[in-house]
Amino acid sequence: MHGVADPASVAPEAYHLDAALMQRPGNADIQLDLFLDYANNLALYPVFQQFFQSTQVQTLVIWGKNDPFFIPPGAAAFRRDNPNAEVRLLDTGHFALETHVDTIAAEIRRLLARAAPWAGHSRPAYRLCRPGGYRRPPATVTIRLTETLHTPRQENTS
């Protein structure tokens, strides 16, 4: 929980489940393959950078300012390629969703309301094009976050 301002804010089951999942048979090899393949990711950076430079697409970057793996200069780099990118550094570590899910969800909703106003409509796959009528948007973005992410499951007693 390196970088987390308040370790008590992270539910114990979160890190116990993470540790258990990491111990599954074959997972160590998968993680090592991902780590060793990172050089291929770096080779693609010019492609990513060109995309952000040429499209200036609305971009939201949310980072834990205390993340030991993805450090703040990595977040700031998005602004170099897209001056319109919004960069938010939260007072947390690598697992920002564990400590800041409400903040991150609100930021995503705010971006979608601005970038894809039809996404927040009661019919998210459609947008209003005239009173009483709907038509399919040119692209559909679906991000569904619920307030029940961290709600404990109710046990079936029947």
What residues act catalytically? 94
- CA atoms of 88 and 73, how far apart (whole Å): 12
- Residue found by looking up tokens 């993470």 in the block: 18
Residue 28 vs residues 1, 19, 64: alpha-carbon distances, Å: 20, 12, 25
Quick one: which H or E segment has residue 50?
A: helix 45-55
Query: Structure tokens of 119?
Result: 């996404």
β-pairing, 127-130 vs 133-135, is antiparallel
